[in-house]
């Protein structure tokens, strides 16, 4: 074997070992949620600074929220200080930080329930937020930043609760609305629940805001519109769906020729530079696709037979343009509102996406079977 061949073989061996190492790292990696005190501000029932005593026992050093007392011991089985290990080549690998006698830990806690699926179970407690809402310092003389973090989170909680507790429903909705979108969505879940509790007054306000909402906001919000029990919001949703279908038609006109969604935005495509015409066009297609899918999920939740004609027309429009997820939502709606005129639409969806499957998102035969069974002549 020549030197050249030996060097080439050595190079291939090194590449293989590096690839195997990287594969191991990737297989062991996981998605590590952000660590932000605002994520636990509304979620926590206890916000406290504590120190480690022994085994799984921690002593409360300072209390900012909740019914625990300074000096009280909390049992937190399995609690560890896990941080993102930036020393590896792959994101998503955790490293465990040691807890010293002088370590002080600011922790956001909530009661642990058997049904909790996010966050580690800690005896009677679970970590609030995304399950990692805790912060620490190894120097107890330098914990002013921990206190500042707790106070800032508590301030957010108090301002949100003040908005939630306003007696006038319209004023309450107006005060809560910014919390859906501000602070990087950290109050979204609780704010949406508070708005849904208000009902039609909140729904009417949302109908007024719909035109000014971004695609991202609509994509997250439209599928729950039926909960508000607002006829005005119902009508606004239908108007929004018609608007997005028209936006797609206008995109095709600018495109200069007819192409389906999965041709303009191929499956597996990443969102690229919007300054490049083809990428900007595909990104717009993705925005329209997402809003139409979530919107038709929301429309189907109204269970209103008056929507059937529009749903059928849009389902056939989606077949033509290969908006596959819109047809998923339409199948669900047609199954809940049986009508003999639904059958040709269901067959059209099956014919299109069984003969020419949507790559990476194949049609679920059970959705078709369920819809056909619900609409069969009895």
Do 282 and 265 form a contact (C-beta atoms < 8 A)? yes
Calculate mean pLDDT across residues 288-317.
98
Closest CA to 154 of 44, 11, 268: 44
Out of 31-45, 116-130, 256-270, 280-294, the most confident range is 280-294
Calculate mean pLDDT across residues 327-353.
97
How many other C-beta atoms are found inside a 10 Å radius of the C-beta of residue 307? 19
> What token pair was written down for 14?
């090194």
Q: Residue 176: left if φ>0, alpha if ψ -120 to 50, beta else—which one?
A: alpha
Convert the pLDDT of each residue in 344-353 to its tens digit: 999 999 999 9
For residue 244, is pLDDT > 90?
Answer: yes
- If residue 242 lies in a helix (H) or strand (E), which one and from where to where? helix 231-255
Convert the pLDDT of each residue in 208-220 to its tens digit: 999 999 999 999 9
Calculate mean pLDDT across residues 260-289.
80
E runs forming strands in the chain = 46-54, 57-65, 73-75, 81-84, 94-97, 104-111, 121-122, 125-127, 134-137
Residue with tokens 């406290």: 48
Say what the pLDDT of residue 88 is: 60
Do 62 and 147 form a contact (C-beta atoms < 8 A)? yes
pTM: 0.81
Angle at 105 between CA 115 and CA 155, to 5 degrees: 80
What is the rounded CA–CA span in Å between residue 61 and residue 63? 7
Helix axes 324-336, 277-301, angle to 10 degrees: 10
What is the rounded CA–CA span in Å between residue 222 and residue 271? 22
For residue 94, is pLDDT > 90?
Answer: no
Domains of the chain, residue spans = 1-30, 37-155, 167-375
Of 80-89, 126-135, 191-200, give the lowest mean pLDDT range.
Answer: 80-89
Burial 104-122 (b: 16+ CB within 10 A, else e): bbbbbbbebeeeeeebbbb
Q: What is the mean pLDDT of the chain?
A: 86
Say what the pLDDT of residue 130 is: 84
Convert the pLDDT of each residue in 21-63 to its tens digit: 343 444 444 556 678 898 899 999 999 999 999 888 999 999 9
Q: What are phi and psi of 47, to 5 degrees?
A: -125, 115
> What token pair was written down for 158?
């108090």
Say what the pLDDT of residue 22 is: 41
Say what the pLDDT of residue 32 is: 60
Band of the pLDDT at 10, cuts 50, 70, 90? Answer: very low
Calculate mean pLDDT across residues 123-143.
86
For residue 246, is pLDDT > 80?
Answer: yes
């Amino acid at each position: 074997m020549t030197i050249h061949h030996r060097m080439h073989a050595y190079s291939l061996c090194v590449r293989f070992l590096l690839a195997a190492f990287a594969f191991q790292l990737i297989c062991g990696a996981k998605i590590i949620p952000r660590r932000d005190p605002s994520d636990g501000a509304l979620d926590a029932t206890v916000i406290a600074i504590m120190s480690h005593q022994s085994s799984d026992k921690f002593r409360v050093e300072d209390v900012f929220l909740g019914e625990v007392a300074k000096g009280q011991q909390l049992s937190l089985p399995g609690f560890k200080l896990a941080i993102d290990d930036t020393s590896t080549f792959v994101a998503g690998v955790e490293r465990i930080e040691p807890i010293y006698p002088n370590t002080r830990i600011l922790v956001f806690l909530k009661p642990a329930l058997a049904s909790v699926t996010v966050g580690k179970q800690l005896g009677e407690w679970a970590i609030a937020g995304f399950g990692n809402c805790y912060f620490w310092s190894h120097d107890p003389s330098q914990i002013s930043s921990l206190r500042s973090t707790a106070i800032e989170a508590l301030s957010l909680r108090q301002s949100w609760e003040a908005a939630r507790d306003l007696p006038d429903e319209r004023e309450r909705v107006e005060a809560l609305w910014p919390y859906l979108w501000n602070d990087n969505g950290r109050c979204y879940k609780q704010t949406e629940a508070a708005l849904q509790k208000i009902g039609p007054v909140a729904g009417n306000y949302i109908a007024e805001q719909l035109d000014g909402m971004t695609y991202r906001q609509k994509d997250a919000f439209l599928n729950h519109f039926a909960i508000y029990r607002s006829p005005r919001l119902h009508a606004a949703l239908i108007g929004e769906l018609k608007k997005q279908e028209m936006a797609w038609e206008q995109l095709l006109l600018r495109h200069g020729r007819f192409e389906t969604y999965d041709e303009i935005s191929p499956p597996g495509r990443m969102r690229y530079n919007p300054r490049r015409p083809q990428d900007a066009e595909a990104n717009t297609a993705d925005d329209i696709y997402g809003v139409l899918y979530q919107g038709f999920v929301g429309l189907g939740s109204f269970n209103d037979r008056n929507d059937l004609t529009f749903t059928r027309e849009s389902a056939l429009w989606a077949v033509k343009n290969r908006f596959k997820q819109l047809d998923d939502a339409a199948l669900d709606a047609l199954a809940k509102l049986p009508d003999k005129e639904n059958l040709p639409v269901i067959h059209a969806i099956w014919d299109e996406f069984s003969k020419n499957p949507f790559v990476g998102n194949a049609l679920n035969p059970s959705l078709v079977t369920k819809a056909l069974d619900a609409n069969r002549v009895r």
